[in-house]
Amino acid sequence: MTTGHQPPLRVLAVDDVPAALQDLCGLLREAPEVGEVVPAGDAVAALKRLRSEEFDAVFLDIAMPGLDGLEFAGLLTKLARPPVIVFVTAYDEHAVAAFGIGAVDYLLKPVRAERLADALTRVGRMVTLDPAEAVPSVPTGPTVSATPAAPQEAPDALAALPVESAGRTRYVRRQDVRFVEAHGDYVRLHAHSGVHLVRMPISRLEEYWAKAGFVRAHRGFLVALSAVRELRSDSVGGLLAHTDLGDVPVSRRHARQLRERLLRAAQRGELRAEGAGGAKGAKGSAP
């Protein structure tokens, strides 16, 4: 229950499954300790909210595409005033890692009302706890000041993407990716380290990587502006964006925007030296 002097909690709920997110938000809104619940469909959308807003706690799933809950929580701990973290997941094998990050509770789906109440009690204690009173030897999680703070710059969530292969997880840096190819609900990242498959629609990755210089060249392709060495005509009159890892098809729909973006990038000195020719919109260059 909410104490007389503790204000209602402001909570961010994160889950990539709409039905699960709706259920979690419903449970949180019914809790007397909670004053406001803000939903987010994935970790990066949640980070965007944290860029301009402050929350007392984040209740989040672990198994999410692109950036999972554990990686997201690791980013939260780097914020100046991180929210208290509670995991809500269908899997129990990540509990040790979750508490190691600093989560105050680990709820298994389907969430029972009494377990949620216990978690909110722990959140309330952390919100009102003076940081100087925290005991380092006990994994209690981050604390939040009740005083509103200036907007924080959220960490760059997808500067690297986790790639699962043969039971191992490796990270592909965005700066090493030359172009991205759609593959159903997945994307193929073309980098010097190889071609890597990631579970994320290309439209979502385009949204996240647009500010980093990735542009839609075709319905099924994104290309890094800095990787384009030149624009070429193919044997049937189509347009190709040439990179050191291969050619990317450019549709008529996206050709003008790509040329304009390349020109602006060249004027700002953002292209590699060998790629400057592409900003001029070269036509008919021999492959």
Q: Where are the domains of the chain?
A: 9-133, 160-280
Whether 9-133 and 160-280 share one fold: the answer is no
pLDDT the model gives residue 189: 94
9-133 classified as CATH 3.40.50.2300: yes
Comparing 184 with 160, the larger pLDDT belongs to 184
Per-residue pLDDT at 220: 95
Question: Is a pLDDT exceeding 80 seen at residue 270?
Answer: no
Return the pLDDT at 184: 86
61, pLDDT greater than 60: yes
Is the torsion defined by CA of 65, 66, 68, 73 positive or negative? negative
The model's confidence at residue 156, banded by pLDDT at 50, 70 and 90, is low
Q: What angle is formed at CA 121 by the lines to CA 108 and CA 100, rounded to 5 degrees?
A: 55
pLDDT in tens, 21-60: 999 999 999 999 999 999 999 888 888 898 889 999 999 9
Q: What is the Cα–Cα distance from 79 to 114, expressed in whole angstroms?
A: 30
Structure tokens at 248: 């990317």
Distance, CA of 250 to CA of 213 (rounded, Å): 16
The matching CATH number, chosen from 3.10.20.30, 2.40.50.140, 3.90.180.10, 2.40.50.1020, for 160-280 is 2.40.50.1020
H or E element at residue 57: strand 57-60
Average pLDDT over residues 100-127: 88
Note the pTM of the prediction, 2 decimals.
0.52
Contacts of 28 (CB under 8 A, 6+ apart): 11, 13, 34, 37, 59, 116
CA dihedral 22, 25, 31, 32 (to 10 degrees): -130
